[in-house]
């Protein structure tokens, strides 16, 4: 299996986007199913955000300083998603604002994924080349094994706190 960092991240994106589409087509009254889908999307987002924050973004920042502004913007976009996720975790699927908040999360993350895939990844691929991307990918898969799966777990929470206070 390829460990190309961009291929791995795109696979994650595909899975995340699938939960978004499923949520959108679940229908007005599918409260229980929507609750499950949000749980799933939060788990996928928590792991994905972790491996990007811990491995992909710092490596790219270090190796391609020209892309630093994009990395900083991405950290901020992750932070906005984290805040929404933290709020959703404390909300029951039948709450009045549950669907609205989920839709705002979906819109934000979709925009972020589009920017990564259409603007950022091509520049990263060109700048880093195959071998480095494979090394970063292998490092990400290692990080994935110890990644938090729920935002309430300390390492994910710490990220959110860091982002708020720093
Ligand atoms: Fe990202
Ligand atoms: Fe991503």
DSSP string, 15-27: HHHHHHHHHHTS-
Q: Regarding predicted confidence, which is higher, 163 or 58?
A: 58
pLDDT at 148 over 60: yes
Ligand 1 center to 75 CA (angstroms): 7
pLDDT reported for residue 28: 85
Ligand 1 center to 9 CA (angstroms): 9
Which tens digit of pLDDT belongs to each residue from 14-54?
Answer: 999 999 999 999 988 899 999 999 999 999 999 999 999 99
End-to-end CA distance of the chain: 38
Which tens digit of pLDDT belongs to each residue from 60-109?
Answer: 999 999 999 999 999 999 999 999 999 999 899 999 999 999 999 999 99
pLDDT reported for residue 158: 60
Ligand 1 center to 118 CA (angstroms): 12
Ligand 2 center to 147 CA (angstroms): 15
């Amino acid at each position: 299996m390829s460990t190309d960092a961009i291929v791995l991240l795109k696979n994650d994106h595909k899975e995340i986007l699938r939960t978004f589409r499923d949520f959108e087509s679940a229908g007005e009254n599918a409260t229980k199913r929507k609750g499950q889908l949000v749980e799933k999307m939060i788990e996928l987002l928590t792991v994905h955000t972790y491996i990007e924050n811990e491995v992909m973004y710092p490596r790219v920042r270090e190796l391609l300083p020209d892309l630093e502004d994009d990395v900083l913007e991405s950290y901020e976009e992750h932070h906005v998603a984290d805040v929404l996720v933290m709020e959703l975790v404390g909300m029951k699927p039948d709450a009045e604002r549950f669907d609205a908040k989920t839709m705002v999360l979906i819109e934000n993350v979709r925009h972020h994924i589009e920017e990564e895939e259409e603007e950022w990844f091509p520049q990263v691929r060109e700048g880093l080349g195959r071998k480095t991307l494979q090394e970063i990918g292998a490092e990400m898969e290692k990080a994935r094994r110890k990644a938090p799966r729920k935002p309430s777990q300390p390492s994910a929470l710490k990220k959110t706190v860091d982002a708020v206070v720093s």
